[in-house]
Homo-oligomer: A and B are copies of this chain.
Amino acid sequence: MVTIYDIAAQAGVSAMTVSRVINNTGKISDKTRAKVQRVMDELNYVPNHMARSLVLQQSKLLFLLITDITNPFYTTLARGAEDAAKKSGYRLLFGNSDESSQKEKDYIDTILSTRADGVLIAPASDSSLPHLESLRRHNVPFVLLDREVPGMGSDVVLGDTKEGARKLVDHLISLGHRRIALINGLPTISSARLRLEGFREALKLGDLAYDEQYVLESAFEPKSDLSDIESWLDSMDPAPTAIVAGNNVLAVEVIRTLHARGLRVPDDLSVVGFDDLGPYSEIDPFLTVIAQQAYQFGYLGMQMLIERIEERGAAAQPWRRVVLPAELVVRRSVAKLPE
């Protein structure tokens, strides 16, 4: 491994001079600078980020931690974050927590030990609290995306989830549906809780009773075992005429399960969901959804993060909370019921 000492020896200067050339600090004669530069090129020198960070106690690296890298909502968000980071001259690395608190913890450790300057994070669940506290304790700025964590104040970018759930239910009611079911994420996730709240409120406003048997709480991420969904579908009596899915993954899982038992959407049952299915849904628009502005989640979140990083030392600003609108996109997965 080539170090600044190797460069220094070759160039006949001290390591300190090399360091100054690299960081463009202090005053150096053009001749010395040129010589050092030449030797660095010859030896293919690459600065050691770890040694550097050890001394400086900081890097120029940002992290984005998402919970499901195969979910188009998060990958689109990632592109937004990337573009915003690039615009400000930061580098961005990604991590995938897979909705697992343990994996999230591992990433947080990696992030802490890599001395990232900041983190954009979609927390796995409420149990992410200790991880966020750890970031806070170590003075690493972060911005939460899509989900909040009770007990942790911070900047955050959210979707207008409750309103989205209401719009979905209203849409179903307006088409004559009266028995509406909800398959949702786990209640340890703030966005799932809001979806349930919005769902209940919309039912109440529509003069429909809330019936617990019509609600299933499953996991937001893709899974191979869908037996909980299967038995839930079988158990509901009378069967619902429409199902609201808490995210795109659940929507797909419900529809697949329905297909597997010979039921067609929307002929036999209507299905609506949250979040679009990615650019690929465009070729055959099928699922009626609440489309969230995924790219904006990442872009705005990254801007807020960078502002926090760069205002460091200045008077602490109050936490900011951005709520992005939820738009209903009507396609063809809902049937109009006879009066």
| Chain A residues packing against B (C-beta within 8 Å) | 1, 44, 46-54, 57, 59, 61, 69-70, 72, 75-76, 78-79, 82, 86, 91, 93-96, 98, 103, 106-107, 109-110, 112-115, 134, 137-138, 222, 248-249, 251-252, 255-256, 259, 277-284, 286-287
State how many copies of this chain the complex holds. Answer: 2
Closest chain B residue to A93, Cβ basis: B93
Specify which chain B residues have a CB less than 8 angstroms from the CB of A113 in the assembled complex.
Answer: 46-50, 52
Apart from A48-B113, A75-B75: 15 A-B pairs, beta carbons within 8 A = A1-B57, A46-B109, A46-B134, A49-B110, A49-B113, A49-B115, A69-B78, A70-B75, A70-B76, A78-B96, A93-B95, A277-B278, A277-B280, A278-B280, A284-B284
Question: How distant is the Cα of A44 from the Cα of B51 in the complex, in angstroms?
Answer: 23
Specify which chain B residues have a CB less than 8 angstroms from the CB of A137 in the assembled complex.
Answer: 44
Contact across chains for A138 and B46 when beta carbons are under 8 A apart: yes
Contact across chains for B283 and A252 when beta carbons are under 8 A apart: yes
Provide the main secondary structure of the chain A interface: helix
Contact across chains for A72 and B114 when beta carbons are under 8 A apart: no
Question: How distant is the Cα of A238 from the Cα of B74 in the complex, in angstroms?
Answer: 42
Instruction: Output the least CB separation between A221 and chain B (Å).
Output: 10
The 6 closest A-B CB pairs, nearest first, are: A49-B113, A94-B94, A277-B280, A50-B50, A255-B283, A46-B112
Closest chain B residue to A281, Cβ basis: B280
Residue in A72, A86, A113 with the greatest tally of chain B CB atoms within 10 Å: A113
Question: How distant is the Cα of A115 from the Cα of B1 in the complex, in angstroms?
Answer: 10
Contact across chains for A283 and B279 when beta carbons are under 8 A apart: no
Residue in A1, A69, A78 with the greatest tally of chain B CB atoms within 10 Å: A69
Specify which chain B residues have a CB less than 8 angstroms from the CB of A109 in the assembled complex.
Answer: 46-47, 49
Specify which chain B residues have a CB less than 8 angstroms from the CB of A54 in the assembled complex.
Answer: 48, 50-51, 54
Instruction: Output the least CB separation between A272 and chain B (Å).
Output: 13
Question: How distant is the Cα of A106 from the Cα of B138 in the complex, in angstroms?
Answer: 27
Contact across chains for B72 and A280 when beta carbons are under 8 A apart: yes
Contact across chains for B82 and A96 when beta carbons are under 8 A apart: yes
Specify which chain B residues have a CB less than 8 angstroms from the CB of A51 in the assembled complex.
Answer: 50, 54
Question: How distant is the Cα of A1 from the Cα of B55 in the complex, in angstroms?
Answer: 13
A70 and B287 in contact (CB under 8 A), knowing A50-B50, A54-B50?
no
Contact across chains for A50 and B278 when beta carbons are under 8 A apart: no
Question: How distant is the Cα of A256 from the Cα of B103 in the complex, in angstroms?
Answer: 38
Contact across chains for A115 and B50 when beta carbons are under 8 A apart: yes
Specify which chain B residues have a CB less than 8 angstroms from the CB of A95 in the assembled complex.
Answer: 93-94
Contact across chains for B50 and A114 when beta carbons are under 8 A apart: yes
Question: How distant is the Cα of A171 from the Cα of B286 in the complex, in angstroms?
Answer: 27
6 contacts between A and B (CB under 8 A): A46-B109, A49-B115, A50-B113, A50-B115, A91-B110, A248-B280
Contact across chains for B114 and A49 when beta carbons are under 8 A apart: yes
Question: How distant is the Cα of A75 from the Cα of B76 in the complex, in angstroms?
Answer: 12
Specify which chain B residues have a CB less than 8 angstroms from the CB of A53 in the assembled complex.
Answer: 50
Contact across chains for A70 and B279 when beta carbons are under 8 A apart: yes
Specify which chain B residues have a CB less than 8 angstroms from the CB of A94 in the assembled complex.
Answer: 69, 93-96
Instruction: Output the least CB separation between A259 and chain B (Å).
Output: 8
